[in-house]
Structure 1
Amino acid sequence: MTAKTPTSGLEIGLYFDLRNPPHREGSASRLHGFTLDMCAEADRLGAGSLWFSEHHLFDDGYLTQPLTFAAAAAARTERARLGTAILIAPLHSPVEVAEQAALVDLISAGRLDLGIGTGYRKPEYELYGASDRRRYSRTDDMVRQLRRLWAAGGVTPQPVQQPIPVWLGYHGPQGARRAGLLGAPLLTPNADSWPAYRDGLVAGGHDPAVARMGGGVQAWVTEDPERDWPLVAPYIGYQVDSYRRHMVEGTDAPAPRPVEPEKLVSRDSGNPLSYFWFGTPETIAERIRELVKDAPVSTVYLWGSVGGMPEAMVAEHVRVVCTRLAPLLR
């Protein structure tokens, strides 16, 4: 089965993690307020969605409670969808997630997309006193439990959407098939996952026509790459190095060597830490088209801010993504 060409209706969104590293000027409180301002501005400029992530014990203050922040963003926006990419499902009670997500959905008048995944960092599991055993099956089960909890006889108040879309942040063919078996949207924009996802839908008794894919790309868009590369490259390097360093924390793996940003921008998409596109709106739009191909991708989001950037750089990027990149793909 061939899906509808995604570029006929591909929505572009923005992604925030609220890092406040030492090289950034301003307090963490200021950063949270400014990010809400950027959410409101992106909504005004027509962004299709706004996404927030979850990590714990990062040394730069990475966002820990994406649904709480999504509730704040809901109060500052009117049109953009609000998503979590991702909420670490095995750390949380299904009832807790169901109630918090319902509240965000009510505040936003039905604009929440709940993205969940397994997580991968040992310190986060230890912080919550949780086991990382069977984390994929436990994440699958949360999808089922959330659907039950949002139905009649479940938690109150109920959400606006019945049910709230629960996206699975799974990678690779096995993860894509798992999402398909559950009939859940798949939180990746990579067309390589479409065949396994489609097969899972069929095996799970779901009509492939219900397929929905979407997700983040590592990219920065600029109208003047030559001017901006020396300014942006150090922040890209910091962000990727931070992820790689925290990824091995609590394991026996050695600390990774620092990345070379110049090499990241020349690579095709793969592991999120293996590439980071940089270029004009036209260049990035073409790379996104190549990534999603004919898969049923409905939304793609890019970083709004990278590695503790100054406010002026973030504001300019939000403007370029919303007013220059989005129209090329919409």
Structure 2
Amino acid sequence: MKVGLYFDLRVPARSGLAPARVYAHMLEMCEEAERAGIDSVWFSEHHRFDDGYLPQPLTAAAAVAARTRRIRIGTAVVVAPLHHPAEIAEQAAVVDLLSGGRLDLGLSGGYRVPELELYQRSSAGRLDTTVEMARQLRTLWTGGATPAPVQSRLPIWLGFSGPRGARAAGLLGEGLLFLNPAQLTPYRQGLADGGHDPGGARVSGPVFALPSEDPERDWAQAREFIAYQQDSYRRHSVEGMPVPPRRPFDAEDARTRPMSRPGYFWFDTPEALATRIRDSVAGLPVDTVFLWASVGGMPEDLVERNVSVICQRLAPLLKTAPCLHSDF
């Protein structure tokens, strides 16, 4: 399997970091990661986060495209209901041209009420809207919008976590951006029902983990940033909804949870993480897994250490794991 890095470019007020420097450092880390052999970098989209979570992933992708030559550049994800298909078709094509054909476009329906309100969108039918965007992108790239991407079939990944979404990704013949063995059957069934080869199934997605050469030494410092990040997700995920606040994140419990349970976040040696990741995705046709380069406003020295350990120690262990294509 291939290995990537994920950047959210958060700048918590307590971090004392300057946003412009965080963005500049991200570009430096992408260049360094490329030199160190990483396969890809990924960016997401969120709005109205109090720490400035990256709101425009394709803009960041364009900047990385101009600074790199080999690595693939992905979105995980563009929130499809917030955008017009023609806008995303054009933006994605420009990034693909700037990168020489290295873009992977991940789409999903989003989940945050404040984001939908900001763009004056409804929360209803988000999955169907995302599926329709994927369909329209294929049409737009073959004559409905200019310029065209470099790649004749620019990879689209659909970030759906449930069986209906997994089947929808299969029906379209697109990749599934979610690492869950339980979704493989509906995904492959969708491929078959859509007239696609189930043997061409491909799955990618994030792994909530950070490697450390000495986990016990580094845990006290790392847990502060991990807890901030995960508590932020918990708080923002229910913002604007008539539900009680979620329980605070339990970092100790998260270290031992399996990938199949929400709220996991592993922190261990590269060898231990490689084993857990391989075991957790066994049987899946995995193309790429990606891990956070920075968590919760980490200072530059920690980000650099994360990138170094992921690129030089963890990635080589995971790249020895084959991409499994099980028979349908």
How does the TM-score come out when normalised to structure 2? 0.95
2:242 corresponds to 1:252: yes
The aligned amino acid for 1:221 is P
1:57 paired residue among 29, 48, 61? 48
Superposition map of 1:197-276 within 5 A = 197-270=187-260, 272=262, 274-276=263-265
Q: Is the 8 A contact 1:25 1:310 kept in 2?
A: no
Q: Is the 8 A contact 1:83 1:114 kept in 2?
A: yes
Shift of 1:31: 0.7
Q: Is the 8 A contact 1:50 1:80 kept in 2?
A: yes
Could you tell me which residue of structure 2 aligns to residue 307 of structure 1? 296
Could you tell me which residue of structure 2 aligns to residue 282 of structure 1? 271
In structure 1, C-alpha distance between the alignment counterparts of 2:255 and 2:14, rounded to whole Å = 23
2:65 corresponds to 1:74: yes
2:175 paired residue among 163, 185, 209? 185
Shift of 1:190: 2.5
In structure 2, C-alpha distance between the alignment counterparts of 1:271 and 1:250, rounded to whole Å = 25
The aligned amino acid for 2:239 is E
1:294 paired residue among 279, 283, 297? 283
Paired residues, number:
319
Shift of 1:271: 5.0
1:319 paired residue among 283, 304, 308? 308
The aligned amino acid for 1:321 is I
The aligned amino acid for 1:287 is R
Deviation digits for residues 207-253 of structure 1, max 9, x if unmatched? Answer: 11221111101001011111110110011100000000001111111
Q: Is the 8 A contact 1:49 1:83 kept in 2?
A: yes
2:40 corresponds to 1:12: no
- The alignment partner of 2:256 has SS state of coil
Shift of 1:120: 0.5
* Deviates most, 263-272 or 83-92: 263-272
Deviation digits for residues 68-100 of structure 1, max 9, x if unmatched? Answer: 000001111111110000100010000000000
Deviation digits for residues 109-132 of structure 1, max 9, x if unmatched? Answer: 000000000001111011001112
Could you tell me which residue of structure 2 aligns to residue 6 of structure 1? none
Could you tell me which residue of structure 2 aligns to residue 5 of structure 1? none
Could you tell me which residue of structure 2 aligns to residue 38 of structure 1? 29
What is the identity percentage for the equivalent residue pairs of Structure 1 and Structure 2? Answer: 57
In structure 1, C-alpha distance between the alignment counterparts of 2:183 and 2:312, rounded to whole Å = 29
- Give structure 2 stretches of 5+ with no counterpart: 320-328
Larger relative CO (CA 8 A, sep 6+): 1 or 2?
1
1:169 paired residue among 151, 159, 164? 159
2:121 paired residue among 130, 134, 147? 130
- The alignment partner of 2:123 has SS state of coil
- The alignment partner of 2:216 has SS state of helix
Shift of 1:313: 0.4
The aligned amino acid for 2:280 is L
The aligned amino acid for 1:307 is G
2:126 corresponds to 1:139: no
Deviation digits for residues 152-203 of structure 1, max 9, x if unmatched? Answer: x221111101121110000122221111111110001232321221111111
2:88 corresponds to 1:97: yes
The aligned amino acid for 1:88 is V
Could you tell me which residue of structure 1 aligns to residue 149 of structure 2? 159
